[in-house]
Amino acid sequence: MILIIDNYDSFTFNLAQELGSMGLDVDVRRNDAFNLEELEEMPLRAVVISPGPGEPSTAGLSLKAVGFFKNRLPILGICLGHQVIGAYFGARVVRASHLMHGKTSLVYHQGDSIFKGVDSPFEAMRYHSLILAGGLPSSLEVIAATEEEEIMAIRHKLYRNLIGLQFHPESLFTPRGRMILANFCLISGLITTEENLKIKGETFKRNHSAGGEHPGVIPG
C-alpha cells in the first residue's frame, strides 16, 4: 500500500489515479488527519507527499513524516512535497525568480534511474512560486534541473529511494510523467517489471476535468 499525504491539493486525485492504474493500493490521508504511530500498523510500502499551497512549515505532518519514514520506506515528494524533503534535510526554500503557475519547462537530467526511458530534456508542468535554492546540503544531490539551473529533482545520497520532483509528473502536460512515476515504483520494489504497467495502463486515461489542472490552487 502507498500512503499519499494530501496537502489539500487537487493534484492529489490525479496522483492516486495514476498509481492506482498500476495496480497499486493507495491510501490518501490529509496532512492533518493522521498520526504517525497509527501508520506503523498499516502495511505501507511507500509514501508520496503531494503538491499543495503554502510552504513546508505549513504542510501539516509532512515534515515529520519525512523524519519518521526516511530510513524505513521509499518517499517521493512532488512540488510542495519536494520542497518538504529539501527543507527537512536543511535546504533553503526561496522565492522562484519567475512564477510558474501552470507553465511548462524543459527539464534536463543525466540518467538517474527515476528517468529511465525519459529523454533529456523532457517537457514538464510546473505550478509553484517557491523553489529549492542552489547549494544543497551535502546529503542531497540534484538529479534534474532547467537550463537556468533551477533544481527540478533531488535524491538523498544515503536514503536512495528518497526523491523529490519540483514538477508535476501526474499532470497531463508532463507527457512522460507516467513513466517517471512508474520508475519510482520499479526502483522502490512496488512493481516488479514493466508488465505491471499494463494492468490498467492501456485503458487508463488521465481525467483532465477531474481536478488535476486547477488554476485556483497554486501548489508550492
Is 216 within the bounds of a domain?
no
For 186, residues 6+ apart whose C-beta sits below 8 A from its C-beta are: 116, 192, 193, 194
CB atoms within 10 A of CB 129: 15
Is 217 within the bounds of a domain?
no
Catalytic, out of 82, 109, 128, 168 = 168
pLDDT at 162: 98
- 28: domain CATH number is 3.40.50.880
Helix (H) or strand (E) holding 21: none
User: Between residues 101 and 41, which one has the greater pLDDT?
Assistant: 41
The pairing of strands 151-156 and 162-165 is antiparallel
Residue 185 falls in the annotated catalytic set: no
pTM: 0.88
| Residue 73 lies in domain | 2-210
Q: Is the pLDDT of residue 218 over 50?
A: no
Residue 168 falls in the annotated catalytic set: yes
Domain count, the chain: 1
C-alpha cell at 165: 520532483
Catalytic, out of 79, 82, 109, 185 = 79
* pLDDT tens digits, one per residue of 26-69: 999 999 999 998 898 899 999 999 999 999 999 999 999 999 99
d(CA 177, CA 18): 10
State the angle between helix axes of 11-20 and 177-187 in degrees (0 to 180), rounded to the nearest 10: 60
Give the burial string for 100-113 (b: 16+ CB within 10 Å, else e): beeebbebbbeebe
d(CA 157, CA 170): 25
Is 21 within the bounds of a domain?
yes
pLDDT at 12: 95
Could you give the C-alpha distances from 190 to 19, 35, 79, 179, in angstroms and in order? 10, 24, 22, 14
Is 219 within the bounds of a domain?
no
Residues in the chain: 220
Dihedral angle sign, alpha carbons of residues 25, 69, 155, 94: positive
Catalytic, out of 18, 150, 170, 213 = 170
Is 215 within the bounds of a domain?
no
Share of the chain above pLDDT 70, in %: 87
Residue 109 falls in the annotated catalytic set: no
Could you give the C-alpha distances from 205 to 19, 20, 201, in angstroms and in order? 12, 12, 8
pLDDT at 217: 29
